[in-house]
Structure formats: C-alpha cells, structure tokens
Amino acid sequence: MRRMAAQNPASARNESCENRHSGEPTGNASRRKPDTDTSRSDRTVDIDLGELLGGRSAARVDNPPSRDRSSGGFVVVFLLFGTLVGITLLLLLTALVVWLSQVMGSFIVATLLLAALFALLAAGLYLGAIREAVERIRARAETVYEVARLARSGYEWISDKIALVSSIYRMVRKE
C-alpha cells in the first residue's frame, strides 16, 4: 500500500520519479523517513504493509503483477479438489447403499454386500499392483535398520574402548 502525504502533486510526482531512478529495484516498495523539517508540506512516505506484516511485498502500480501462482495456492486448490472428490464418492456410495437396500429389502445386507465388494477390490489392487512396491520398501527399511544396528554396536564398542583407556589413564595418574 502506498500513501502520499503531499499537498503539492507536482513535487510528489517528481519524488516518485526520483525514487524510480535512484537505483532501487522496481517492484520493491521503499521506506523513507520523513524529514525533521516540519515546514515542508511536500513529503512522500512509502509504506509497504505486506512487508511490515511479514508477507510478500505488494506489487507497485508501475510494475504489473506476474502471472505465476505460488505453490501454496496450488496446494490449497489441490486439497479442495481432493475434498470435493471424497465427498462426491461418499455421496455416490451412500446413494448406492440406499438403492441396493430398497432392491434387497434390507439396509444391513446391502451395506455388508458393498463392504465385501470394496474389500475384494482393495485386496485385488494390493495383490496385483502394490504388493511388490511394499516389499521393496520393506527390504530397504530392513537394510536401513541393519545399518543403524551396526552403527550402534560400533559406537558402543568404541565407547567401551575409550572408557577402558580413560580408566587405565586415571589409575596410572593416581599412582
């Protein structure tokens, strides 16, 4: 946000032009302290509220905003999309259970039938596509745990040897 406390528009325009050509990068709002001379009425004070509040600096009028979206905006939209898809699937499943319960005459049987169907689909998906990847991840995790156990045993061996040497040194030092 940019505030101009200038009564003389021409001097305010000249000062903003000087600001633009003074070597400051365009797109970054500058903060200038007002002069201590209170007799001047043509002072310009630039305040960037976004920068003061810890956010991104606001785009200036002479520098159009970029078309790039931040990754935070993408994450929010992606989470919203996932939530909407989940709600849609739940509503469709509910409608399917209600319809099947009307056809079969029992809500409990319809629910159990659909639960069994989805359990079979999940088991088939796991066995057909996911099992090999899970086994590879498990093998890598076991390797990492084995290396960690070896590192720990090596550390304990070294610390025992250092403790032995330091106790011998203390005994020799006391005599």
Token pair for residue 46?
């630039």
Distance CA 78, CA 112 (A): 33
Mean pLDDT of 140-157: 92
The DSSP output letter for 28 is S
By three-state DSSP, how is residue 57 classified?
Answer: coil
Closest CA to 96 of 85, 107, 81: 107
Percent of the chain having pLDDT more than 90? 44
Token pair for residue 76?
């929010």
Distance CA 13, CA 34 (A): 16
Residue 103 CA neighbour count, 13 Å, CB half? 9
Q: Please state the pTM of the whole predicted model.
A: 0.38
List, for residues 101-115, the tens digit of each pLDDT value: 999 999 999 999 999
Q: When comparing pLDDT for 63 and 174, which is higher?
A: 174
List, for residues 31-60, the tens digit of each pLDDT value: 555 555 555 555 555 666 556 566 555 555
List, for residues 81-98, the tens digit of each pLDDT value: 999 999 999 999 999 999
Residue 151 has pLDDT above 90, yes or no: yes
Token pair for residue 153?
């045993």
Distance CA 39, CA 24 (A): 28
Distance CA 46, CA 29 (A): 7
Q: For residue 41, what pLDDT is reported?
A: 52
Q: When comparing pLDDT for 54 and 4, which is higher?
A: 54
Distance CA 3, CA 16 (A): 11
By three-state DSSP, how is residue 42 classified?
Answer: strand
